Amino acid sequence: MTFLVGGISSAGRAFPDVQGHAFRVTRSAGAYLWHDRGQRYLDTAMGFGATLLGHAPPPVLEAVAQAQAEGPMPSFAHALEEAAAAALAARCGDLSQVIFLNTGSEAVHLACRTARIATGRGRIVKFAAAYDGWYDPVAFGNAQSPAARMTGARPERDGMLLLRYNDFADVERLFAEYDDIAAILMEPVLANAGCLEPAPGYLQYVTDRAHRNGALVILDEVLMGFRLHAGLTGHYLGVDADLTAVSGGQWLAAAATLGDIARLGASAGKVFLLENLNTAVDHPGVPFARAEDTLALIEAVASPYLRLNLDLYHAQIGEGNLIELVRRAGPAIGEIQVADVPGRCEPGTGEIHYLAIARALAKLGYRGVVGLEGWASEGDTERALERFRTAFTV
C-alpha cells in the first residue's frame, strides 16, 4: 500500500494475510464478503455490530437512495430531522431532546461539555478500560493502557478521572476525594474490554452516589444502545441518566425495513410475523430478542400486515411474566407458539402454567393459531399432542 497509512485506516480492522495475500474486501451483500481475489466468505464480524440487517439490504438502499435524491445536506434544518428525533426519543424514556452529530466521539465530547456548563464543575469520571471515543480526554484509560490498571493513586489527566468498574468501595472513595465532579461517564457494558457486564446493582449504586453528590450521569450508548433491547442498555439495567450519547441507527433501520415488508404484505394481502427469540439458551447474539422489544418494533411500524409471533418458550427464558406479556401484546399477536421450559417439550413437562395462559388468551378473545414447536417428551408424539390439547382446552 502506497498512500494509506499502515495499509488500513483503523488498527481494529487489521486482519492477517490469507493464504499469503492481504485480505481486502471488494464488495459485500447479505451475510457475505468477497475479497479482491474473488473468494466469498461468511462475515461473522458484521461491521462489529453496526450492520444489524446484513450488508446492503435492498429496503435500506432504496430508502437511502430516495433520501439522497431529495438532497440530504441543505444548509438549513431538514424536515426529516424532527421525525428521526421523535423515533429515537420514543425509545429513550425521559431523555426526550435529541441533537444529531457526526460521530460517537463528538457526541460524548458534547455531553461532557454540557455537564461541565450545567454543574459549574470541571472533572469528568469514566470507567477504567471503558471505550468512550478517541478525543484525547476520553481516550485516557482505554483498555490495555497503563492507566486502566488503576495501580497506585487514582489516575487523572486533563480533568478526566478513572473509576474502577464494578468496585462499590471505589465509588465511595471517589466522592470522598473529590467534590467538583461534573459527571460520571458511564459505558454500561465495557464493550472493548471483553464485554464486561456490570455487577448486580452496581450501575444503580454509581448513579445514586453521583446524584447525591450533585454530579450528572452520562450514558455512553454508542456501542451498546439498542443492542440488548429496543432502547438504552443503561435504562434496561436500571440507570436514571441525565444525558446520553447513542447510535440509534440500527433501531431506525430495522423499523424502516419492517415498514417496507409490511407494505409488501399489504400489496399481496399477506400478513408477516416477527418472532421473539431468546439469547440465553438457543440464539446468542440475536438483536431485539425479548418479546417486549419485538413488540415495540411492531408497534413502531403500526401496520396490520406485521404482527407478533409470540413464542412463549423464548419469552419465558428471556423475560417471564407471560400472562402480563400476553395481555400487553393482545391485538398485535398473529400467532402463539408454545413449548415448556426447560427442555422445550410439550406443556406439562416444565415450569410454565399453560392453562392459565390459555384462559388469559380466551379472555382477550384470541382466536388465532396456537402451535406446538418443541420435542415430544419420552419420544411419545401422541401423548405430547394430547397434553398440548389439554393445556389449551378452556
Give the separation between CA 136 and CA 150, rounded to whole angstroms. 18
Nearest alpha-carbon partner for 244 in 195, 186, 165, 199: 186
* CB burial readout 368-390, b (16+ within 10 A) else e: eebebebbbbeeeeeebeebbee
Q: Which secondary-structure segment (H or E) carries 216?
A: strand 216-221
Residue 196 sits at φ, ψ, to 5 deg, of: -75, 125
Tell me, yes or no, if 275 is annotated catalytic: yes
Catalytic entry in 156, 275, 299, 335: 275
CA dihedral 147, 153, 154, 156 (to 10 degrees): -70
Length of the chain in residues, anyone? 394
For residue 145, what is its C-alpha cell? 493502557
Tell me, yes or no, if 351 is annotated catalytic: no
Beta-carbon contacts of 356 under 8 Å, excluding residues fewer than 6 positions away, are: 323
Catalytic entry in 156, 299, 335, 373: 373
Give the separation between CA 326 and CA 338, rounded to whole angstroms. 13
**Number of other CB atoms surrounding residue 14 within 10 Å:** 10
Nearest alpha-carbon partner for 221 in 207, 230, 206, 232: 232
Name the amino acid, one letter, at 326. Answer: V
Task: State whether residue 293 is helix, strand or coil.
Answer: helix
Nearest alpha-carbon partner for 228 in 275, 269, 191, 266: 191
DSSP 145: S
DSSP 197: P
Query: Residue 275: is it exposed, middle or buried by C-beta count within 10 angstroms (0-12/13-18/19+)?
Result: middle
Task: State whether residue 73 is helix, strand or coil.
Answer: coil
Per-residue CA distances from 153 to 6, 115, 126, 241, 364 (Å):
36, 25, 16, 28, 61
For residue 58, what is its C-alpha cell? 435492498
Contact present, 392 and 369 (Cβ < 8 Å): no
Q: Would you name the residues annotated as active-site residues?
A: 275, 373
